[in-house]
Amino acid sequence: MIMRFSEVIGNDALKESLLKMACGNRLGHALLFTEENGGGAFALALALAQFVNCRDPRPDDSCGQCGSCHKYGKLIHPDLHFVFPVSSTAALSESEKKSPISDYFLPAFRELALSNPYFTEQMLYEAIGIDKKSGLINVGEAKRIAEKLSLRASEGQWKTMIIYLPEKMNLEAANKLLKLLEEPPQGTLFLLITHNPERLLPTIRSRCQPVALQPLNRQQRQRTEGQRQDNADYREIAHSLLEAGLSKKIIDLFPQWEILADFGREKQREWCLFMEYYIRKLYLVANGIEPLADLSPQEETAVRGFAAKIRPGFYEKAFTALEDAIAAIDSNVNPKLVFCDLSNRLLLAL
DSSP per residue over 329-346, as a string? HHTT--HHHHHHHHHHHH
As a whole number of Å, the CA-based R_g of the chain is: 22
Q: Is 3 helix (H, G, I), strand (E, B) or coil?
A: coil
CA angle centred on 188, ends 184 and 189, rounded to 5°: 110
Task: Please enumerate, as own/partner, the contacts of 276-284 that have beta carbons within 8 Å and a separation of 24 or more.
Answer: 276/319, 276/322, 276/323, 278/235, 278/238, 278/303, 279/315, 279/318, 279/319, 279/322, 282/306, 282/307, 282/310, 282/315, 283/307, 283/315
Q: What is the mean pLDDT of the chain?
A: 91
Q: Which residue has the higher pLDDT, 325 or 219?
A: 325
Given a cut of 90, whether residue 200 has pLDDT beyond it is yes
Over 60: is that where the pLDDT of 185 sits?
yes
Q: How high is the pLDDT of residue 230?
A: 54
Q: What is the mean pLDDT of residues 157-169?
A: 95
Query: Which amino acid, one-letter code, is at 189?
Result: L
Average pLDDT over residues 234-254: 92
Per-residue pLDDT reduced to its tens digit, 18-72? 999 999 989 989 999 999 888 999 999 999 999 999 999 998 999 999 999 999 9
What does CATH list as the number for 232-349? 1.20.272
pLDDT at 296 over 90: no
Please tell me the pTM assigned to this model. 0.77
Residue 328 banded pLDDT, cuts 50, 70, 90: very high
Q: Which of 61-65, 89-93, 196-200 has the lowest mean pLDDT?
A: 89-93
pLDDT tens digits, one per residue of 201-238: 999 999 999 999 998 887 787 777 544 445 788 999 99
Q: Which of 84, 104, 85 is nearest to 94 (CA)?
A: 104
Average of per-residue pLDDT across 2-10: 91
* CATH 3.40.50.300 intervals, the chain: 5-223
Query: Which burial class, exposed, middle or buried, applies to 34 when counting CB atoms under 10 A from its CB (0-12, 13-18, 19+)?
Result: middle
CA distance 101 to 88: 9
Distance CA 308, CA 310 (A): 6
92 with 100: CB under 8 angstroms? Answer: yes
Report which residue type is found at 187: G
Looking at domain 5-223, its CATH class is alpha beta
Which SS3 state, helix, strand or coil, does residue 136 take?
strand
Range(s) of the chain covered by CATH 1.20.272: 232-349
